[in-house]
Structure formats: structure tokens, C-alpha cells
Amino acid sequence: MSDLERAKNALASDSSITLAMCKDGVVFTDTRKGVAPLVAAAESGADYSGYCAADRIVGKAAAMLYALLKVKEVYAEVLSKRGAETLSRFGIAYSYSVMTEFIVNRRGDGECPMEEAVKDAPEPSEALEKIKNKIALMKKEAAK
């Protein structure tokens, strides 16, 4: 079984899992929503190059973080067109179940704020900063 198949099986095994990554047969999973697991991975300093990932939702924000992490392949249950373009641009193989125009926010009434944050970000490191800034702003607004 390939690393991508192992990651996909882990994702399918439990609906609370939002991300599964695998390399050399070793799988780890995360249950945090949105891009939180990828931001944490990017900030950890760990080496994720060569990993395969299975994710619930991948838009441009997640795709930029996968590029930053240097994963080799991504499966997305839902993939946006900008997410697919970004993965292709950085040479990351991908597959998906559903392709969508854009990722919808959690209220279902517009575009995901992470997607909006990175819309014009050309490089993964810039995208990470924009994502972190947007998360901080959203936490600040929620605290009001």
C-alpha cells in the first residue's frame, strides 16, 4: 500500500480526522479544523518533505502551506480550482473527489477567509504570514 493510500485510509477511518499525512508507512493524523494543522506543521520546524497528505478541504491557502512543507502528493475530498493551480505550480501531485470554484466559509455565505487572505500571495512563505495575520485578526474580532 502506498503512503497516499495509507493517508486516505486514515482520513476515511474517522470523520473527526481532518488531515492525515504519511511517509515511509508512518501515518499521523490531526482533528483541528481549517488550515490549523498545516500552520502548526509549518511552524514546527519538522521536515515534511516527501510526505503524502489526505485532507478534507484544500484551497489555495492549504495548497501554499503544502508547498511550504514540500509534500510530494495531496488527496483532497474537496479541491478548489486555485488550490489545484497552486499544487501544480509547485510540482505537487494531486487527486480529489470534488473540484469546486472556491472554498466556502463556515457560514456558507461567501469565500473562506483564508482563501481571501492568500488570493494575491505569490510565495508560500508570504502566504503563511498572511494566514497567521488573518487568524490573529479573526480571534481579535471574536473576542469583542
Spans of all domains in the chain: 3-143
Determine if residue 45 is left, alpha or beta; phi over 0 gives left, psi from -120 to 50 gives alpha, anything else beta: left
Q: Output phi, psi for 108, to 5 deg.
A: 80, 15
Q: Residue length, the chain?
A: 144
Q: What is the pLDDT of residues 96-129, one digit of tens each?
A: 999 999 999 888 898 999 999 999 999 999 999 9
Q: What is the pLDDT of residues 18-59, one digit of tens each?
A: 999 999 999 999 999 999 999 999 999 899 999 999 999 999
State which fold the 3-143 domain adopts: Cytidine Deaminase; domain 2 (3.40.140)
* Greatest C-alpha distance within the chain: 49
> What is the per-residue burial (b if ≥16 Cβ within 10 Å, else e) of 91-115?
ebebebeeebebbbeeeeeeebbbb
Entry pTM: 0.95
